[in-house]
Amino acid sequence: MGSYAGLGEVGGKRILVRSDLNVPLDGTTITDDGRIRASVPTIKALADAGARVVVTAHLGRPKGELDPAYSLAPVAARLGELLGQDVAFATDTVGESARQVVAGLADGQVAVLENVRFNAGETSKDDAERGAFADQLAGLADAFVSDGFGVVHRKQASVYDVAQRLPHAMGGLVAAEVDVLRRLTVDPERPYVVVLGGSKVSDKLGVIDNLLGKADKLLVGGGMVFTFLAAQGHEVGKSLLEEDQLDTCRDYLRRAHEAGVELLLPTDIVVDTEFPSGDRTPAPGVVPASEIPSDSLGLDIGPDAAADYAKALADARTVFWNGPMGVFEVDAFAAGTRAVAEALTKVDGLTVVGGGDSAAAVRTLGFDEAAFGHISTGGGASLEYLEGKELPGITVLLDEEE
């Protein structure tokens, strides 16, 4: 029998693994199995070492009630395909089915429990309610492995409280994520370029705050661009605009200038008169960023900006990218995101794609994941780490080491 880092011999033991299997579904069809594939190595290592592996995870936000639309059944089936072995599925999380399925496991076998968020105790803000549910989860296992990086910023029962109740260890995925994020925050190799996109400035306030003092260049794309452009006094038409963040954006522009950080905004924008939807054929046009028509909205950075951003990335030694440059799901507005991804594949150094939509974009646009240094499985967790926040699901694993 083999051992697993920090837990010693695991053969014959019931190991509860918190994975991140929160994949997008179209009905019962998984449209992107990246997170399941990322969870396989740790589960396989434990099973190969003779452990009886009990996987717990969430899917969506079912609000503490059973909702068949958020069942992990299709995920369990896909996990079995990727592992090349049958995976048992419990139709509840800590009830009769879970107890029977776990009791029926032989050494080296794997089971998946139903969506942990079907239990209100998982996400409860009440320590006692969360703890009571964690007691039930912990009762199914002899030890705990935390491998769901996408949830380590959450103080939830299956992430935080269970670790206080069982011998515990970091899974390989979480350990790799933490290692990469440390390399981004502790003495990164320079030039250090941060690319931020996505829809809202407000989602990225903390990370911009923290990185303005650390990065050499900050490239801004996506919907958040328009609040920066408006802060400079430009017309942004019908584009996404957070008026309550205008002063914040002005402050960022001033601070970047004072700190000698190059904050790049796009010089041109791809616009249309409507957000892409339904059967309407997109009618994209390209305009200078300072001349967005009042009847149009920006949906991607323009070709000149894409070339500028690629050039700004060319000599980088460390890159962190979080958030697409435009509505990449629609081909007419995908060129900016594609250009940034392409530029990252050519960087001689550490490139980190920061989870969420950026990781989805890389896969949707057909890039080989191996061309990037690291594709994070946790957008929110990555951002909070880079903001300098403590992640409860990590802190609880390290308590005994300090």
Active site amino acids:
35, 200, 356, 380
Where b means 16+ CB within 10 Å and e means fewer, 102-140 reads beebeebbbbbbbbbbbbebbbbeeeebbbebbebbbeb
What are the helix and strand counts (H, E) for the chain?
14, 19
Residue 47: φ, ψ to 5°:
-65, -45
Instruction: Report in angstroms the alpha-carbon separations of 81 from 45, 87, 105.
Output: 16, 9, 18
Distance CA 180, CA 106 (A): 35
E strand or H helix at 298: strand 297-301
> Sign of torsion, CA 140 142 147 149?
positive
Which residues, including other chains, have CB under 8 Å from residue 88's CB and lie 6 or more apart? Answer: 101, 104, 105, 109, 110, 111, 112
CB contact at 8 A, 118 and 62: yes
- Residue 311 burial (C-beta neighbours within 10 Å; 0-12, 13-18, 19+): exposed
Positions at the binding site for (2R)-3-phosphoglycerate? 35, 117, 154
DSSP 23-87: --EETTEES--HHHHHHHHHHHHHHHTT-EEEEE---S--TTS--GGG-SHHHHHHHHHHHTS-E
Positions at the binding site for substrate? 20-22, 35, 58-61, 117, 154
Mapped onto helix, strand or coil, the DSSP state of residue 288 is: strand
Positions at the binding site for ATP? 204, 298, 329, 355-358
Radius of gyration of the CA atoms of the chain, in A:
22
Positions at the binding site? 20-22, 35, 58-61, 117, 154, 204, 298, 329, 355-358
